[in-house]
A and B are shown apart, each in its own frame.
Chain A
Amino acid sequence: MTGEDRAFTVARAAVIRRKRAAPWLLMLPALIIVLIFFGLPTLYMARMSFNLSEGSKLFTPGLSWANYQTVFSNEVFVGAIWTTLQLALMASAATLVIGYLFALLVWLKPAKWRLIFIGLALCPLLISEIAIIFGWWMFFPKNGLLSFALTSSGLISDKISLMYTEFAAFVGLVYLTLPFCFFILLSILDGIDKRMLEAAADLGASPLTIFREVLLPLTRNGMLVAFSQCFIFTMGTYATPSALGPDTLWTMGFLVQEQMLGRNNWPLASALSMVLVVLVAVMMVFTRALATRRATLHV
């Protein structure tokens, strides 16, 4: 090998190294932010979950599984884990369906409608969760807007209250997560060439077949991402289900808040939070496993 060849090989190896390092270098700032603002607190929380709670102190340093034993042996906590999972799965699934239909509508409509629909979808994001809760408090009760609309339209004769029901909590959660789902799906749909639908139709495919054979595979990964996003949000939020749901709707988020602030038991609150984090992580791994390599290109 001549010196020129050796120099070329070395230069080529350097280029390959740089190319391999480039994605990591580009990711580095975001990675640092994630590690500092999310990684470290999670580690701190994990460590806190093994501490002890004694007397009036917030925690006593220690290394014990006692808090996890409490989480999995206390009926209230176990019940809350199931309740939270069920509510999050149902709300995320419903949000996905509604968000998909809404995003599809906006995608297929002429451009002049697009801004109006996007503005509508943005509305919940412009208002705080607490303000939205107050809005539902005016909507669901016996003397609320819904009851008034139904009685005055003659659909029902007696006033009804949907306030403090699991349905109200479910609707509140769907409303909160819908914008996130909608924007994720719209961005996926925007990456699809609409002429593919026309081509499928020209080849004789029915609308249902076009949806099943063309649109669904192309948006599958986006749907999984949107579902994951909704699931993460609905698993963790506690104000909406707590304020709209029945007295017995004890979610994990509510119990974390109760232990953290109401009881000043940081270790138990941390153990419960870690269980929440693990459940969300499992769901993320599961949805990731369902994603197709081809569809990844569109996300």
Chain B
Amino acid sequence: MHLTRRKTLQGLAALAAPALIGRARPASAQSAFAGEGLVVVSWSGNHELSFRDLVIDPFNATYGTKVETVGGWDQMVAQIMAAPADNPPFDITIADEFTTSTGLAEGLFLETDRAALPGFAAVHPWFDALRGDAARYGVPFGGGSLWMLTSKASGIAPDSWANFWDPRALGKTTMDAAAFYWDLCIPALLSSRKPGIDEVFDTPAEMEPLFVELEKLRMAKWYKDGAELANLMLQDEAQVATMYSGDAYGFLKEYGDEFTGAVPKEGTASYTNWFVKVRGTRHGDLADLFQSYLLEQETQQRFLNGSTDFMSRSDLTAPAHWADYPMTNDAMAATFSLFSLAGWDKFGANWEALDARMKQTITVTTSG
């Protein structure tokens, strides 16, 4: 392995992370937190399994800690709000833009001292670009996106979102009924009226063409969670689907003989996974160390090798299962259209109207 001066410095900085955050001198870094516990929330499902295997367990093995991960999806903010302010149910939570927006509005998250975390130097600027003030909270581990999943038997490749409208897919498609904003991103990505998914942040009237496009589909069933999606595909009820990257790796690993998945050529809609310290945590120093660990190159490469999420560091190598992984900041920006915090502000303001319109779309497109 060729060691550059930059890599050497980054390695030394990672080793000295506990000292940098104030708990221990480098010599005792690995034992400073021995036996201490920390509860970290990751996304439920395959993401949680990967996160436990590829991040939590190696961290505990290195530092002798008792860090554990619990799965969450949309209930973390409610759980923190319901718990006493000085005794939150978890110390660090994963937060996409939706969770971040509510968490910050309620004052549930703690700021991060970026200067104490050397890993930030290697993070793609794309992660901060649309973050605004919220960038002061947490560390960007990576992000998730929509993948296109197809059954090999269908003869349809997951190389373009337009394939959802392939006549062969009629009555054999499935999308998310619950997080319907992601579904709207698909026709937005195919449309040339605005870049990326920006059409999703328009007024309901301006978004009407997106609903009209979705209404040209005939869904086998609109799924409500990952388990239902997997069941639909495995039972051959559906053959073309959107799948969250957090689930895609595990599904393709297990059923790769029958299914194939990819980020289509038009790029995809995405969210970012920031790990944020929860206010009232009693393990602040260990939380700092864990956040620092999340930004280490080795941690990120290990996770990337076992997932279909993208990572925040710019110095990783593409994994075998994702040959066209975007390596540069420009490629990252071109591939992933972020459902940004500002986007949520606009979309959230029209939620009721859009939700009602989406339910109409579901009614006219469903076969299930």
Q: Which residues of A contact B (CB under 8 A)?
A: 55-58, 70, 74-76, 134, 137, 141-144, 161, 163-164, 242-243, 246-248, 250, 258, 260-264, 266
Contact = CB atoms under 8 A, between A and B. Distances in A.
Contact of A261 (B74, B177, B359, B368): B74
A143 B233 CA distance: 12
Interface string B93-112: 00000000110111000000
B105 A56 contact: yes
Q: Which of B75, B221, B231 has the most CB of A within 10 A?
A: B231
Contacts of B81: 58
B356 A243 contact: no
A262 B178 contact: yes
Interface in B324-357: 344-345, 348, 351-352, 355-356
13 contacts: A56-B345, A58-B77, A164-B368, A247-B177, A247-B221, A247-B222, A247-B362, A247-B368, A248-B362, A248-B363, A248-B366, A250-B359, A263-B355
Contacts of A264: 74, 77-78, 102
A260 B77 CA distance: 11
Given A57-B105, A243-B224, 15 more contacts: A56-B101, A56-B105, A56-B344, A58-B81, A70-B352, A141-B237, A144-B235, A163-B235, A164-B221, A242-B224, A247-B177, A248-B362, A248-B366, A261-B74, A262-B178
B219 interface: yes
A263 B237 contact: no
Contacts of A247: 177, 219, 221-222, 362-363, 366, 368
B219 A262 contact: no
B74 A262 contact: yes
B74 A141 contact: no
Contacts of B236: 142-143
- Range of interface residues on chain B? 35 or more
A233 to B, nearest CB: 21
A39 to B, nearest CB: 18
A276 B345 CA distance: 30
A75 B352 CA distance: 12
B228 interface: yes
Contact of B356 (A76, A134, A161): A76
Contacts of A248: 359, 362-363, 366
A242 B177 CA distance: 11
Contacts of A56: 101-102, 104-105, 344-345, 348
A144 B236 CA distance: 11
Nearest to A243: B228
A261 B237 contact: no
A57 B366 contact: no
A70 B104 CA distance: 27
B27 interface: no
Contacts of B351: 263
B121 interface: no
Given A56-B345, A76-B356, A142-B235, A246 B368 contact: yes
A261 B75 contact: yes
B235 A143 contact: yes
